[in-house]
Structure 1
Amino acid sequence: MNRVTEILGIDLPVIQAPMSWVTSGELVAAVSNAGGMGTLGPNAGQTTVASNAIETAERLRNEIRKTRKLTDKPFGVNYILTPVGAGEKPYSTAILNVLIEEKVKVVFTVGGSNPSEVKKLKELGFTVVYRELTPSIEGAKAAEQAGADIIVATGFDEGGSSRISQLEQ
């Protein structure tokens, strides 16, 4: 056991990335059943783009429920932070409502540094794993002060997504 496994309630320090379109209830449950932390991405199990925020959130609700049928182990769900000053975003709001209603315990956040939103998630009772979209020392410190339970430190390429975007241009 180490601090990460204790915080997440898992046996092994293995965390499956919340890859938006690649994850599914089956994959997440398999990782969790093996002792790690499976994580649903916002479009988990989908092959088509939803027409609106409510449909996206309801599809996620179905994957959460499917995951729960396949495992009684902890798992998390990805939540995209709203950038500071951007106002409320319909997709984030709809997904947050589902996470609350479905009593999800662990959220894996991604996005820009938004300490007030991290604090809100903590006040709602979530265990927060924070990964800044463009990692910075300042962002990590702000997330820690806001109550993030775990901070993911990545390189400049954030697991490859920045490099892929550059190659597509």
Structure 2
Amino acid sequence: MKWSNQITQLIGIDYPIIQAPMFGVTTPEMVIAASRAGALGSLSLGDLPAERCSELIRSTAAYVMKPFAVNIFVNHVPEVSLNLRLAYNETKVFVEQLALQHGLEVALPELDSIHITDYREQIDAIISHQCKVVSFTFGNLDAQSIKRLKDNDVMIIGTCTSVAEAIALEEAGIDVICVQGLEAGGHRGSFQEAPVPEIGGFSLLPQVKEHVNVPLIYAGGLYNASTIHSAKLLGASGFQIGSLLLKSKESALLDFEKARLSHVKESDIVLTRSFSGRYARGIKNTFIEALDKSQYILPYPYQNKLTGELRKVAKANKNVDFVNIWAGQSIHSYSELSTTDIMQTLIREVENLHTSLVV
């Protein structure tokens, strides 16, 4: 298979394979390992403070010889109204009592103690460290930020979950668009919290291809040669791999979380707003089932900030029912090898499939 294309040439990588920026799973070591395989590593910065972003970028850049991407959240922060304060306090009490009923004692943060990072602060750090690829999700960057990045020769990758979002990204001057299908694990990259577009990736991808001219990366359900080949036929130039790496050597998931992946079933994978306030796909558990049936889900990012301490305590207690394990709809055996080995194996499988199809 001829791997060289718009994506590899624009970024300067060997293969148009992108290691997904999975916040809470991705580590600098995973980014480094992906780069060693000739792929694009993606450092997930989420909504971390600028100082922490700088630390992670430095620790990654020291061991990566080729470009890697940094990924940020474009947060829309709802105004702190009286209604939000009341809802926050009620949700806080509900979640604390729910946790206590299941053996977890946790004190969740008060609303006024929560700090929410403005992504523009992250962009300052990104530019100062001369990062050359930035990807983002949950909306679009403001025009000034886009100009600043372009003035510093940064390639920008946006995320869409609909044709309308793809068009908006292209019109804003975004260089590459990541098309995220409904089957993808983790958070939906939709511009709004709810409702989110409910279109499968292999239906969405060719429609986006018809409406925009920038190169496309596809994310959602890719885990073997056949799914990558299908995405290529439908118009993708890049292929984002996420769930395939959940149990990898470099994954930040703890052993008890990785063990849960060993016996996951199709019916276990759900779309939920319970942990963060935004829709995300993962493995259902006690917390998800309780919250999804309740009125206690705050707007993002307040729900996400509220449940952060809960997840920390649950991890310390190895309680799988109160942590989020994001995973896509494609159920497969999750390898415990290094990210480098997993990606190199996938690349060989794609090349072998291409050879057999040509013959």
Give the TM-score category using the shorter length.
0.7 to 0.9
State the 4+ residue runs in structure 1 displaced beyond 6 angstroms: none
Distance 1:117 1:165 in 2: 33
1:124/1:143 CA distance change after superposition, 3 Å = farther
Q: In structure 1, what is the equivalent of residue 55 of structure 2? A: 62
Q: In structure 2, what is the equivalent of residue 49 of structure 1? A: none
- Specify every segment of 5 or more residues in structure 2 that has no aligned partner in the other structure, as ranges: 80-115, 189-269, 274-283, 293-359
Paired residues of 1:107 and 1:127 also in contact (CA < 8 A): yes
TM-score w.r.t. the length of structure 1 is 0.78
Deviation, structure 1 residue 125:
3.0
Higher RCO by CA contacts (8 Å cutoff, separation 6 or greater): 2
CA RMSD of aligned residues (A): 2.7
Q: What do the CA deviations read for 1:57-81 (whole angstroms, capped 9, x no partner)? A: 2222111111111121110100222
Paired residues of 1:118 and 1:148 also in contact (CA < 8 A): no
Q: In structure 2, what is the equivalent of residue 95 of structure 1? A: 122
Equivalent residues, number: 155
Distance 2:151 2:73 in 1: 17
Paired residues of 2:49 and 2:117 also in contact (CA < 8 A): no
Whose Rg is larger? 2
After TM superposition, the structure 1 = structure 2 runs for residues 71-110 of structure 1, keeping only pairs within 5 Å, are 71-83=64-76, 90-110=117-137
Q: In structure 2, what is the equivalent of residue 47 of structure 1? A: none
Q: Which amino acid aligns with 1:41?
A: S
Q: What do the CA deviations read for 1:75-127 (whole angstroms, capped 9, x no partner)? A: 010022244999xx733122111101111110111012456367334344320
Distance 1:38 1:20 in 2: 13
Distance 1:92 1:73 in 2: 25
Q: In structure 2, what is the equivalent of residue 46 of structure 1? A: none
- Specify every segment of 5 or more residues in structure 1 that has no aligned partner in the other structure, as ranges: 44-52
Distance 1:26 1:157 in 2: 26
TM-score w.r.t. the length of structure 2 is 0.39
Amino-acid identity (%): 34
Paired residues of 1:84 and 1:114 also in contact (CA < 8 A): no
After TM superposition, the structure 1 = structure 2 runs for residues 109-120 of structure 1, keeping only pairs within 5 Å, are 109-114=136-141, 116=143, 119-120=146-147
1:28/1:8 CA distance change after superposition, 3 Å = same
1:82/1:128 CA distance change after superposition, 3 Å = same
